[in-house]
Amino acid sequence: MNIFALSSGKGPSGIAIVRISGPQTLNICKALTNEKNIKSNEINLCKFIDPKNKKIIDPEALLLWFPKPHSFTGDDLAELHIHGSNAVITYLLKVLSDQKNCRLAEPGEFTKIAFQNNKIDLVKAESIGDLIHSETELQREQAANLVQGHASKYYENLREKLVKSLSYIEAKIDFAEDDLPGSVLKEVQKSIKQVHTDIKQILEDQKVGEKIRDGFRISIIGDVNAGKSSLLNLLSKRDAAIVSEEEGTTRDVVETYLNIDGYPVILADTAGIRKAKNKVEKEGIKRAIKKAKEADLTLVMIDVSKKTINSDVKKLINKDCILVFNKSDLSKKTPKNEFKNNDQILISVKNSKNIDRLIKTIKEKLSKKFMKANNILVTRERHRAKLNAALKEIEKFLKKDQKKEIETAAEDLRLATRHLGSIVGKVDVEEILGSIFQDFCIGK
């Protein structure tokens, strides 16, 4: 079966790219162009024609032909660069679907075939998806790193260490004691302990890779009528939350997704903190406090015209909060307070005053708190779960007396290897055997 799809965005645009992949790709291209001599890995200038009625689909287009295995999918693949109008695209796609054994590709199918043909591993497949969907600079950077295989190489390296240790243990099980030096088990222990330390270190990353993919969580909390909803609306450039001079307007949590100067952020507006009598408002305040606790960063908003900070709000201020004094158009004096170590910013949402400084401070805070690790490896819960599972097996292994329980200890390592391998999509027992044959001359 051959698959095809529009690989560029929806038209109209100067150029659109349609990809075809599968064993009959060249024949399909020949039928569509009437060209007998399509050159591989070169640009072919040609006309695309409807083979049924000889009508011209696009009089001037480009065809790139990549024979397997040197293509993105690893199968025969062609790229058709056509004029990007809806009519040209629609006609070409229809003609392609008329061809024998040719169907529209499913989402991600080109990448899936590339994985099945061993052109890319799972982490790369995922990160290609992330790169395509990246919305902020930080997300683009992270995905681009993964596409280049940094994480895959690291995991592969760890896995190879486990495979090597496992091959020693298997040898110890299979061969007579005197064939192997006594220090082998000690060496294995040492190497596995190192792998354990490395995985632990990867996991202690404050989940920054996932946060960059999904967005950093920022909560706005504070007094009623401090201007929390107004700030959310200003930053998100839309009327996401209701603003009113009536106290206790916001009750539910309102969230919006923002790009704050390259940082992906989920900003949450919450109910104002006060002694509420109303049941619904009480629930809103409970949710506000919960949001603040879960947040990566909290903006505590205070109305400067109030002169003091509400004692219930004070209780929520910790060392990571930014104190945002709002309504500088009404008063320039910020209330005296004991939070000397916190960032304190005086703004006016009404007049858009000092908002750029607030944004800069938010960025600095996030960067200081999360961007310490320069080598981000885990970007998905899937990776984290597999690493944790591998860690568990390694811990089981390390707890065992490997002389007495060598068989079950080997099984622990086998499972750990499998968990690590499944991050990049590699699970292979043959390799363990291969490693044994390589290191011990069995045929002697």
Query: Given the rule CB under 6 A, which residues bind ligand GDP?
Result: 224-230, 243-245, 249-250, 272, 326-327, 329-330, 348-350
Please give the DSSP secondary-structure letter assigned to residue 40. B
- Residue 387's closest CA among 430, 428, 418? 418
Say how many CA atoms lie within 13 Å of 317 toward its Cβ: 22
Distance of CA 402 to the CA centre of its chain: 39
Nearest CB to Mg ion, comparing residues 126 and 255: 255
Could you give the string, one character per residue 164-203, with x where binding to Mg ion holds by CB under 5 A and - elsewhere? ----------------------------------------
* Least distance to Mg ion, CB of residue 258, Å: 17
What's the Cα-to-Cα distance from 124 to each of 51, 93, 308, 442, rounded to whole Å? 38, 28, 53, 37
Give which of ligand GDP, Mg ion, none residue 330 binds (C-beta under 5 to 8 Å, depending on kind): ligand GDP
Give which of ligand GDP, Mg ion, none residue 280 binds (C-beta under 5 to 8 Å, depending on kind): none
Nearest CB to ligand GDP, comparing residues 123 and 224: 224
The answer to the question of residue 145 lying near Mg ion (CB under 5 A) is: no
Give which of ligand GDP, Mg ion, none residue 226 binds (C-beta under 5 to 8 Å, depending on kind): ligand GDP
Give which of ligand GDP, Mg ion, none residue 134 binds (C-beta under 5 to 8 Å, depending on kind): none
- Residue 152's closest CA among 426, 425, 424, 380? 424
Give which of ligand GDP, Mg ion, none residue 204 binds (C-beta under 5 to 8 Å, depending on kind): none
Give which of ligand GDP, Mg ion, none residue 119 binds (C-beta under 5 to 8 Å, depending on kind): none
* Least distance to ligand GDP, CB of residue 272, Å: 5
Give which of Mg ion, ligand GDP, none residue 152 binds (C-beta under 5 to 8 Å, depending on kind): none
Give which of ligand GDP, Mg ion, none residue 73 binds (C-beta under 5 to 8 Å, depending on kind): none
Alpha carbon distance 48, 96 (integer Å): 11
* Least distance to ligand GDP, CB of residue 304, Å: 9
Whether the upstream peptide bond of residue 12 has omega within 30° of 0, thus cis, is yes
**Which residues partner with 40 through β-bridges?**
65
Please give the DSSP secondary-structure letter assigned to residue 304. G
Give residue for tokens 């990160």: 127
The sheet carrying 13-21 orders its strands as: 43-49, 56-66, 77-84, 13-21, 2-6, 102-104
Nearest CB to Mg ion, comparing residues 123 and 224: 224
* Least distance to ligand GDP, CB of residue 326, Å: 5
- Residue 30's closest CA among 13, 15, 49? 49
Window contacting Mg ion (CB under 5 A); options: 30-38, 129-137, 223-231, 423-431: 223-231
User: Which tokens hold the place of 115?
Assistant: 């994985």
* Least distance to ligand GDP, CB of residue 275, Å: 15
Please give the DSSP secondary-structure letter assigned to residue 336. P
* Least distance to Mg ion, CB of residue 221, Å: 11
Nearest CB to ligand GDP, comparing residues 103 and 287: 287
Q: Which of 111, 139, 236, 250 binds Mg ion (CB under 5 A)?
A: 250
* Least distance to ligand GDP, CB of residue 244, Å: 5
Buried b (16+ CB within 10 A) or exposed e, 154-179: bbbebbebbbbbbbbbbbbeeeeeee
Alpha carbon distance 290, 293 (integer Å): 5
Give which of ligand GDP, Mg ion, none residue 43 binds (C-beta under 5 to 8 Å, depending on kind): none
Give residue for tokens 């009625």: 53
Nearest CB to ligand GDP, comparing residues 39 and 332: 332
Q: Which of 229, 310, 402, 435 binds Mg ion (CB under 5 A)?
A: 229
Window contacting Mg ion (CB under 5 A); options: 12-20, 45-53, 227-235, 402-410: 227-235
Is 217 buried (19+), middle (13-18) or exposed (0-12) by CB count in 10 A?
middle
* Least distance to Mg ion, CB of residue 295, Å: 17
* Least distance to ligand GDP, CB of residue 302, Å: 10
Nearest CB to Mg ion, comparing residues 89 and 232: 232
How many chain residues interact with Mg ion (CB under 5 A)?
3
- Strand pairing report for 13-21 and 43-49: unpaired
- Residue 350's closest CA among 332, 328, 325, 331? 328
The footprint of Mg ion (CB under 5 A) covers 228-229, 250
